Amino acid sequence: MTGATVLITGATSGIGLESARALATLGAHVVIGARDPVRGASVVDELRARGERAELLEIDVASLASIERAAARFAADHPRLDVLVNNAGIIAGKRSLSPDGHELTWATNFLGLVALTRALLPLLQATPGSRIVNVSSSAHRSGRIAWDDLELENRYSGWRAYAQSKLAVNLWTREFATRHPNVPAYAVHPGAIATNIWRVLPSFAQALVARVLPPASKGAIPIVRLATSDDIASSSGHYFDGLRDVAPAPAALRDDDAKRLWDYAEDALTAV
């Protein structure tokens, strides 16, 4: 990865942090996307102390203004983007709104991913061999796109919002691959992993998760593989469960839904 520039969102903890560590060790220049600049800077310091190349990019993927600022700064400072890892994600117990008024899970896990990819697409297109890794989840299998209530104003549950957002990530990745064959894009379930994402659970369940699930370094393995392998370009638009290229849920294979979601996202992001 020497000479490659990689941007990872949500690189301050869990799978994103371990992916950043692993890719920096492989020689990449790693841009740490962090909503908390203090924690982001401490990741950068850690990597630099090991002689690796890293820098901070402050970005809140739930805020379209923050995404726009971060993408502009990135493009001003970097002539290339080899890998965009859209990793930042949440499960939110209670329904709340992003700074732009979108339901927070939808804004963070889906709209932010789309907005950042759109903003950096010219740079990705200008970088030979670039690719996008969208961190999805096997939770998409229980997801349903609620076309009449995408932001779940009714019957909200944290899991319902999460599963829908990850199904949307898979559909959008599939449609992106059709529309942009020159930039491979993959959706990946990193495995069920012990990270802060489970802080939404009651404390006894969090303790159990910490004991039984594998550590974040294991969740980074499939992401690093998709970020670095040369033999997967023909799998653009596919869903990976860990290292395996597998069929996602049937709902993630509906081309009409993929197009509809694409159009919805274009409208939602150009309306602001």
Ligand X SMILES: NC(=O)c1ccc[n+]([C@@H]2O[C@H](COP(=O)([O-])OP(=O)(O)OC[C@H]3O[C@@H](n4cnc5c(N)ncnc54)[C@H](OP(=O)(O)O)[C@@H]3O)[C@@H](O)[C@H]2O)c1
The minimum distance between CB 14 and ligand X, in angstroms, equals 2
Which of 247, 207, 208, 196 minimizes the C-alpha distance to 90?
Answer: 196
Please give the Cα distance from 71 to 8 (Å, whole number): 12
Which lies closer to ligand X via its Cβ, residue 26 or residue 213? Answer: 213
Considering the complex, state which of residue 189 and residue 238 has its C-beta at the smaller distance from ligand X. 189
Out of 156, 162, 186, 239, which one is annotated catalytic?
162
Residue type at position 172: W
**Residue whose pair of structure tokens reads 């670039």 in the numeric block:** 130
Of 20, 9, 69, 44, the closest CA to residue 220 belongs to: 20
CA distance 14 to 123: 27
Residue with tokens 């690719």: 131
Minimum distance, C-beta of residue 65 to ligand X, in the bound complex (Å): 12
Residues that bind ligand X (CB under 6 A): 9-10, 12-16, 35-36, 59-62, 87-90, 108, 135, 137, 189-190, 192-193, 195-197, 216
**Strands ordered across the beta sheet of 53-58:** 53-58, 29-34, 5-8, 83-86, 131-135, 185-189, 239-241, 244-246
Amino acid symbol at 152: L
Task: Count CB neighbours of 17 within 10 A.
Answer: 24
Closest CB 198 distance from ligand X, rounded Å: 7
Query: Whole-number minimum distance, CB 201 to ligand X, in Å?
Result: 11
Closest distance of CB 256 from ligand X, Å:
26
Identify the H or E element spanning 203.
helix 203-212
> Which residue, 22 or 59, has its beta carbon nearer to ligand X?
59
Q: Which is nearer to ligand X, 4 or 8 (CB)?
A: 8
Contacts of 56 (CB under 8 A, 6+ apart): 31, 32, 34, 37, 40, 41, 43, 44
186 classed as catalytic: no
> Active-site positions?
162
